[in-house]
């Protein structure tokens, strides 16, 4: 396990390298009137898979490798509510042989500070055997384009 | 119960009066690779509530009346899949004293023919007692602006 | 389209032929404190697929045929809330060559009267081509065991 | 932030102090045939809130304090699939003045080793102001009954 990236490097819009809009839904709000914490993870895997499909050529119906989530986490800084469209920020925090860890954050539109940020790790496995498989080259190249280099 | 609107009046983009985009999510796809049928209803109540909040002034946190769903239905014409952004079409099919029935349809972007269409009925009730309450005037006015008059 | 079954034949526990428990979830409650209408459909397709898998031998990972939802509807009689375990009642309302329509209802534990009831139609199709396919014999036999014959 | 509990203390059924069954749903499975990672968090907040409501007297409709999630994480050890009923294990890892961190794990029925484990932190706040509020005494007493003391 790599050392986690410091929280101060996760909360600003400028610290993310790719963005995608996300429309919230009526049912995302829970009984307390805020978006339920579990939905944040559905936003996170939506943006990561959107990047893999659109920018890395992943074919989720046919490719011989698929990506499984092995670890995820999220820090909630301020509540979000439906209705609004969010901006999801995306980057790669770490790339290994068969795994990749993404950094993600949710922003209200035009906000510079994130409402929540988190990370999750995909392990690429063979679709038929579930055995780990090196990240295919074209996907690796796509992931490297959004690799986050922390300022030193 | 009013006579349902004929299916031929539900499948074309031109038959809807207000539209809102909706981003699909990774988890919307089920094991067969298509968006699960239940999510269509979460799209439908998202667009209806978005209209009520943005165009009719409904305050879902504070208003003395809330809207409960008493009936819903959907016809699925062709599969939809993540990732894509959908256009949701919206209109009012019928307005009563305390209830309103919406017509809704989901379109792929730039498609004229719906991938699915349906309807659901909201009954307005007092938040504290759950007893039916006449539709408030400002909400009624907003709903009448998207009332669908079928061609004769 | 077959004539729908009369509502009076859908609201009693004794009118259903197979039951399965279902645990509600925190996120099922919406901002108004009741289970969101869309989740009812996820309960419905959970019980129908559980029946198909457990009682009819459907293999959702491997079988050459899969079942797509083409129409669904639900009538909501009284609100349901988390936390509680529901009983889902199930039966077959109609069987055709490649399609089957289920009748379903949700009951609070020990309640005789349903809190909601509905139906949905599965069309069996070839997994690779999406073309309609006759219901396989072993599945048809399983479905016929819960076929609802209305009293005359 | 307290030091996290070591992973070796999170993976065994005997390390949890309260259990609740949870029925999986058709839509929990994603396109790869496994339960989507985000649903694990909906299982986690379901069991924690069930404990708060049933064992600690929390009234989610009326109480002056509500609990917000400020941090969550999950480690996925082996895939889970619908249909099956899971056992959710629950305990309290840490109690502060206004916050509590739960430990949770998901077990296949009769399994001693978890398929996934995680934690999340609730901060109790005043419903009207969103300001942190000390954990009410009756809730604190309930939480202390499932406080996990790691072996030394």
* Cβ distance of D29 and B30 shorter than 8 Å: yes
The pLDDT value recorded for residue C152 is 61
The answer on pLDDT for A1 being more than 60 is no
A140, two tokens: 């690796």
The pLDDT value recorded for residue B69 is 97
CA separation for the pair C116, A24 (Å, rounded): 27
| Chain C residues within 8 A of B48 when measuring between CB atoms | none
Cβ atoms of A66 and A58 closer than 8 Å: no
* Cβ distance of D31 and B36 shorter than 8 Å: no
The pLDDT value recorded for residue A2 is 60
- pLDDT tens digit string along D96-135? 999 999 999 999 999 999 999 999 999 999 999 999 999 9
Cβ atoms of B44 and B72 closer than 8 Å: yes
Mean of all residue pLDDT scores within chain B: 95
The answer on pLDDT for A4 being more than 80 is no
- pLDDT tens digit string along D10-49? 999 999 999 999 999 999 999 999 999 999 999 999 999 9
Across-strand partners of C68? C123
Q: Is A140 on the interface with C (CB under 8 A)?
A: no
Chain centroid to Cα D3, Å, comes to 18
C149 in any annotated domain: no
CA separation for the pair C100, C122 (Å, rounded): 5
B123, two tokens: 């009954």
The pLDDT value recorded for residue B152 is 61
Cα R_g (chain B), whole angstroms: 16
* Cβ distance of C39 and A31 shorter than 8 Å: no
The pLDDT value recorded for residue B30 is 94
* Cβ distance of B75 and C71 shorter than 8 Å: yes
B138 in any annotated domain: yes
The pLDDT value recorded for residue C38 is 98
Q: Where are the alpha helices (DSSP H) in C8-115?
A: 37-56
DSSP state of A64: S
- pLDDT tens digit string along A5-39? 899 999 999 999 999 999 999 999 999 999 999 99
The pLDDT value recorded for residue C150 is 78
- pLDDT tens digit string along A40-82? 999 999 999 999 999 999 999 899 999 999 999 999 999 999 9
The enclosing domain of D112 has a CATH number of: 3.10.129.10
C151 in any annotated domain: no
A70 in any annotated domain: yes
The answer on pLDDT for C31 being more than 70 is yes
CA separation for the pair D71, A76 (Å, rounded): 6
The answer on pLDDT for B19 being more than 90 is yes
Nearest by CB: C26 against D25, D42, D61: D42
> What average pLDDT does this structure show over B114-141?
96
A102 in any annotated domain: yes
DSSP assignment of B5-24, as one string? PPGGGSSBGGG-SEEEEEE-
The answer on pLDDT for B1 being more than 60 is no
- pLDDT tens digit string along B89-107? 999 999 999 999 999 999 9
The pLDDT value recorded for residue A150 is 78
- pLDDT tens digit string along C101-139? 999 999 999 999 999 999 999 999 999 899 999 999 999
Mean of all residue pLDDT scores within chain A: 95
State the smallest CA–CA distance between residue C44 and chain B in angstroms.
9
Where residue D4 falls among pLDDT bands split at 50, 70, 90? confident
> What average pLDDT does this structure show over D76-97?
97
Mean of all residue pLDDT scores within chain C: 95
The answer on pLDDT for D151 being more than 90 is no
* Cβ distance of C25 and D33 shorter than 8 Å: no
| Chain A residues within 8 A of D120 when measuring between CB atoms | 37
> Taking the CB of residue D36, how many other CB atoms lie within 10 A of it?
24
The answer on pLDDT for D1 being more than 60 is no
The pLDDT value recorded for residue A5 is 87
Q: Is B37 on the interface with C (CB under 8 A)?
A: yes
The pLDDT value recorded for residue B2 is 60
Where residue A152 falls among pLDDT bands split at 50, 70, 90? low
* Cβ distance of A39 and C27 shorter than 8 Å: yes
Least confident of B139-143, C100-104, C148-152, D20-24: C148-152
The pLDDT value recorded for residue C86 is 98
> What average pLDDT does this structure show over B64-72?
96
Number of domains in chain B: 1
DSSP state of B85: E
The answer on pLDDT for D150 being more than 90 is no
The answer on pLDDT for C1 being more than 60 is no
CA separation for the pair A12, C3 (Å, rounded): 58
Across-strand partners of B75? B117, C71
State the smallest CA–CA distance between residue C84 and chain B in angstroms.
20
CA separation for the pair C26, C23 (Å, rounded): 10
| Proportion of chain C above pLDDT 90, given as a percent | 92
| Residue found under tokens 């375990």 | C85
| Chain D residues within 8 A of A62 when measuring between CB atoms | none
* Cβ distance of D30 and B26 shorter than 8 Å: yes
The pLDDT value recorded for residue D148 is 95
Across-strand partners of A67? A124
State the smallest CA–CA distance between residue D49 and chain B in angstroms.
22
Cβ atoms of A75 and A116 closer than 8 Å: yes
For D37, the 3-state DSSP assignment is helix
DSSP state of B48: H
Select the residue from B11, B41, B117 to test the C interface by mutation, using most C Cβ atoms within 10 A.
B41
C1 in any annotated domain: no
B37, two tokens: 């049928």
DSSP state of C127: T
Query: Could you list the residue range(s) of the whole structural domain that residue B45 is in?
Result: 7-144
C42 in any annotated domain: yes
CA dihedral for B145, B150, C1, C7, sign (positive or negative)? positive
CA separation for the pair C26, D45 (Å, rounded): 6
> What average pLDDT does this structure show over A97-124?
98
| Contacts of C48-54 spanning 24+ positions with Cβ under 8 A | C48/C90, C48/C102, C48/C104, C48/C120, C48/C122, C49/D26, C49/D82, C49/D83, C50/C20, C50/D26, C50/D83, C51/C18, C51/C20, C51/C90, C51/C142, C51/C146, C52/C139, C52/C142, C53/D83, C54/D83
Cβ atoms of C140 and C92 closer than 8 Å: no
Mark which residues 96-135 of D lie under 8 Å from C by CB. Answer: none
CA-to-CA separations, A110 to A21, A75, A86, A106, D26, in angstroms, rounded? 12, 20, 9, 11, 37
> What average pLDDT does this structure show over B35-47?
98
Nearest CA in chain C to B66: C32
* Cβ distance of D71 and A73 shorter than 8 Å: yes
Mean of all residue pLDDT scores within chain D: 95
> Taking the CB of residue C131, how many other CB atoms lie within 10 A of it?
8
Cβ atoms of B15 and B9 closer than 8 Å: yes
State the smallest CA–CA distance between residue A50 and chain B in angstroms.
7
Select the residue from B19, B25, B106 to test the A interface by mutation, using most A Cβ atoms within 10 A.
B25
Nearest Cα neighbor of C144 from C89, C84, C91, C76 is C91
CA separation for the pair A36, D72 (Å, rounded): 12
D136, two tokens: 């009410």
* Cβ distance of D70 and A73 shorter than 8 Å: no
| Chain B residues within 8 A of A53 when measuring between CB atoms | 83
Cβ atoms of C81 and C61 closer than 8 Å: no
CA separation for the pair A46, A103 (Å, rounded): 13
Mark which residues 38-77 of A lie under 8 Å from D by CB. Answer: 38-42, 44-45, 60-61, 66, 68-76
D111 in any annotated domain: yes
- With 0-12 / 13-18 / 19 or more C-beta atoms within 10 angstroms meaning exposed / middle / buried, residue A149 is exposed
What number of helices (H) and strands (E) belong to chain C?
A: 2, 5
């Amino acid at each position: 396990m790599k050392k986690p990236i410091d929280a101060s490097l996760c909360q600003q819009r400028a610290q993310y390298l790719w963005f995608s809009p996300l429309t919230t839904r009526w049912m995302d709000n829970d009984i307390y009137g805020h978006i339920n914490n579990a939905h944040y993870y559905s936003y996170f895997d939506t943006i990561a898979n959107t990047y893999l499909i659109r920018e890395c050529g992943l074919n989720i119906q046919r490719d011989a490798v698929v990506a499984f989530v092995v670890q995820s986490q999220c820090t909630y800084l301020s509540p979000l509510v439906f209705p609004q469209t969010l901006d999801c920020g995306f980057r790669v925090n770490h790339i290994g042989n068969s795994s990749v860890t993404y950094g993600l954050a949710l922003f209200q539109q035009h906000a510079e500070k994130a409402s929540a940020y988190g990370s999750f790790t995909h392990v690429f496995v063979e679709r038929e055997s579930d055995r780990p498989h090196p990240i295919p080259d074209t996907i690796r190249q796509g992931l490297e384009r959004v690799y986050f280099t922390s300022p030193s």
